[in-house]
């Protein structure tokens, strides 16, 4: 485990219901989204898009 949530007390219902209440999780999520949106479209080619990623997404949705 990279961090502990103990001692991180919430002071309102809004903060308690956050999707990513820990700042480390939030930062990791934004870095992942930025990578997926800004870098992957320039690195991917037709083979990866049609033969690897598309079937993976179809099977993931079907599961």
- Dist. CA 23–CA 8, nearest whole Å: 11
Which residues contact residue 11 at a Cβ distance below 8 angstroms, ignoring those fewer than 6 apart?
Answer: none
More confident residue, 22 or 60: 60
**Domain layout of the chain by residue ranges:** 13-62
Per residue in 2-52, pLDDT tens?
667 777 788 888 888 888 888 888 999 999 999 999 999 999 999 999 999
Task: Return the structure tokens found at 6.
Answer: 């103990």
**Which tokens hold the place of 50?**
């049609």
Residue 29 pLDDT: 95
Residue 56 C-beta-side C-alpha neighbours within 13 Å: 6
Q: Confirm if 21 and 15 have CB atoms less than 8 A apart.
A: yes
């Amino acid at each position: 485990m990279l961090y502990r949530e103990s001692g991180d007390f919430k002071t309102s219902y809004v903060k308690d219901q956050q999707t990513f209440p820990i700042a480390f999780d939030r930062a990791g999520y934004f870095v992942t989204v930025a990578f997926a949106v800004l870098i992957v479209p320039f690195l991917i080619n037709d083979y990866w898009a049609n033969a690897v990623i598309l079937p993976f997404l179809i099977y993931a949705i079907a599961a």
